[in-house]
Amino acid sequence: MTNEDSDIYQGILDAQRANRPCVLATVVATRGSTPRKNGAKMLVDPAQGLIGTVGGGCGEAEVITAAERTLETGKPQMVRVDLTDDPLAWTGSVCGGILEVFVEPIYPESP
Per-residue pLDDT tens over the stretch 27-58: 999 999 899 999 999 999 999 999 999 988 88
Which residues, other chains included, contact 30 with Cβ-Cβ below 8 Å and sequence gap of 6+? 36, 37, 38, 97, 98, 99, 100
The CA distance from 82 to 34, in Å, is 10
Q: What is the pLDDT of residues 51-106, one digit of tens each?
A: 999 988 888 999 999 999 999 999 999 999 998 865 555 555 566 789 999 999 99
CB of 98 within 8 A of CB of 18? Answer: no
Q: Among 41, 59, 49, 64, which Cα is nearest to 15's?
A: 49
Q: For residue 58, which amino acid is it?
A: C
Q: What is the pLDDT of residues 8-26, one digit of tens each?
A: 999 999 999 999 999 999 9
pTM of the model: 0.89
CB of 77 within 8 A of CB of 105? Answer: no
Tell me if residue 55 falls in helix, strand or coil. coil
